[in-house]
């Protein structure tokens, strides 16, 4: 239950009950049927840019978006936003990147959207503060519930492997 540690004990107990009844997988499959079709890095770039254009037109440009096989749960990272600085000529150039853990290639559309929204929100808010989560909820109404369900999905996934 490491993905649910920050949640109230009563919620954790409900998840434990779903696990004990062997119903967690069925619950998630019913709530989040199907898988998204954003499979390539090129498609992911287009997906991220469309969300950025819709919600964060004035945010800094994103230079690179990709699925990253090196991001996994052992690093406690499902997505990363980075700014890579390089000297070109006499100027310092910062390139912004978003990397999404490869495990999201096979996830439900809402889970991919939640991770992308989370990383896009970091373009405006670097900290996980109230303004950050307000922005996430603006871009994806119901963000907090989807994040909780994603944490249940990760728990189920770990149990199933």
Q: What string of pLDDT tens digits covers the 161 residues of the chain?
A: 888 988 999 999 999 999 999 999 999 999 999 999 999 999 999 999 999 999 999 988 899 999 988 876 544 556 666 666 667 677 777 778 898 999 899 999 999 999 999 999 999 998 999 999 999 999 999 999 999 999 999 999 988 87
Does residue 1 lie within any of the structural domains?
no
Query: For the stretch 35-54, what's the b/e string if a residue is b when 16 or more beta carbons lie within 10 angstroms of its beta carbon?
Result: ebebeeeeebbebbeebbee
Q: Counting Cβ atoms within 10 Å, is residue 155 exposed (0-12), middle (13-18) or buried (19+)?
A: buried
pLDDT value of residue 116 = 95
Does residue 40 lie within any of the structural domains?
yes
DSSP assignment letter at 78: S
Does residue 141 lie within any of the structural domains?
yes
Query: For the stretch 108-134, what's the b/e string if a residue is b when 16 or more beta carbons lie within 10 angstroms of its beta carbon?
Result: bebbbbbbbbbbbbbbeeeeeeeebbe
Number of domains in the chain: 1
DSSP assignment letter at 60: P
Does residue 92 lie within any of the structural domains?
yes
pLDDT value of residue 90 = 76
Structural domain span for residue 84: 7-158
CB hemisphere CA count around 35 (13 angstroms)? 8
pLDDT value of residue 161 = 77
Does residue 28 lie within any of the structural domains?
yes
pLDDT value of residue 42 = 97
| Helix spans in the chain (H) | 9-20, 24-31, 41-55, 109-124, 130-139, 143-160
pTM of the predicted protein model? 0.87
Listed residue (159, 144, 8) closest to 73, CA to CA:
159
Does residue 15 lie within any of the structural domains?
yes
d(CA 58, CA 56): 6
pLDDT value of residue 113 = 97
Distance of CA 81 to the CA centre of its chain: 11
Does residue 2 lie within any of the structural domains?
no
């Amino acid at each position: 239950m490491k993905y649910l540690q920050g949640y109230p004990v009563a919620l954790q107990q409900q998840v434990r009950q779903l696990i004990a009844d062997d119903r967690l997988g069925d619950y998630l499959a019913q709530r989040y049927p199907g898988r998204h079709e954003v499979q390539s890095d090129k498609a992911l770039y287009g997906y991220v840019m469309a969300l950025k254009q819709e919600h964060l037109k004035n945010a800094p440009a994103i230079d690179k978006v990709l699925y990253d096989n090196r991001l996994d749960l052992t690093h406690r990272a499902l997505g990363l936003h980075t700014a890579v600085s390089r000297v070109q000529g006499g100027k310092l150039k910062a390139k912004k990147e978003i990397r999404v853990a490869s495990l999201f290639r096979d996830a439900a559309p809402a889970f991919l959207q939640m991770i992308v929204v989370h990383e896009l929100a970091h373009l405006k808010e670097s900290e996980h503060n109230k303004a950050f989560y307000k922005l996430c909820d603006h871009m994806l109404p119901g963000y907090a519930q989807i994040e909780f369900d994603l944490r249940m999905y990760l728990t189920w996934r770990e149990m199933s492997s």
